Amino acid sequence: MHDRLIEACRSGNVQMVQLLADSGTGINLDMADEDGTTALCMAAEEGHLDVVRFLCEQGADKDIAADDGATPLWTASREGHLDIVRFLCEEQGADKDRATDDGATPLWIAAQGGHLDVVRFLCEQGADKERAMDDGTTPLWIASQERHVDVVHFLVQSHGTSAVLGFMGRVAWMRCASVVNRVWPGASLRTGSPNNSFDGEIDIDPHLMDNILNDGISPSMMGQ
C-alpha cells in the first residue's frame, strides 16, 4: 500500500493519493521509503503542488527529513519549484533554514541550482543568507562557483559582501568578481566589512579571473 502511495505521489496522480488516503486502511502518510523519503517529499521533488497540498491538508508532517536531512522544502528548493516552496513557507510554516546533514540550507541548494526566483523568495521570507555549509561555502560562493550570474548579482545587490562569510570568503568574492566581470567588463567590486576575509578593492583583471575560474584558487590566494 505504501509503495502505491509513493508511486502515486511521484507521478502526480492526486486522485489515487486521495483514494489511498480515504481507503480506510489507516495508511501512514508519513511512512518513508528505504532512503527516508516520505510521500510528501516525493511529491515536492516532482513538483506536484496539488498532491503536496492534499497531503498537508491530511496532516502529513511538512518537516520530516530524509536520511540525509532533506525536507520537502529543501527538495522543492533544489528542483526550483517556486509554487511548492511558496506554499510550504507561507501556508504551512516550513522551517526555511533547516539544513541537510552537510549543512546545506534550502537557500544554499537553490543558489547552487541557479533558481533565482526561489533564492529571491527565500530571502524575502527571511532565510539566513549568510549561513554556510559545514565546509564553509555560502550561497554566494556556490552561485559564483556554478556561474549563475543572475543569482550572484541578486545576492551582491541585495546583501552586499555580508553574504560572504567564513574561511571561503576570499575565494567566494574573487569568484563572484570573475562572474560579474563577464557581464560588466572592467567593473570593480569593493569590500571592507570586518566580517570578510580581506579588505580593499578588487580591480578585476579578466585574464587573472579566467585563470582563477578555470584553474582554481591556490592556498596563497586564500591567504593560507
Q: Are 87 and 53 contacting, i.e. CB atoms less than 8 angstroms apart?
A: yes
Residue-wise pLDDT for 156-202, tens only, equals: 777 654 444 433 455 555 556 555 555 445 444 444 333 333 333 33
Residue-wise pLDDT for 7-27, tens only, equals: 999 999 999 999 988 876 678
Considering only 34-48, 80-94, 191-205, which range has the smallest mean pLDDT?
Answer: 191-205
For the entire predicted model, the pTM comes to 0.75
pLDDT of the residue at 220 = 33
What's the CA gap between 28 and 116, in Å, rounded? 35
Task: Provide the H-helix boundaries in the chain.
Answer: 2-11, 14-21, 39-46, 49-57, 72-79, 82-86, 106-113, 116-124, 139-145, 149-159, 169-183, 206-215
Residue-wise pLDDT for 118-170, tens only, equals: 999 999 999 998 899 998 888 988 988 888 988 988 887 776 544 444 334 55
What letter represents residue 213's amino acid?
A: L
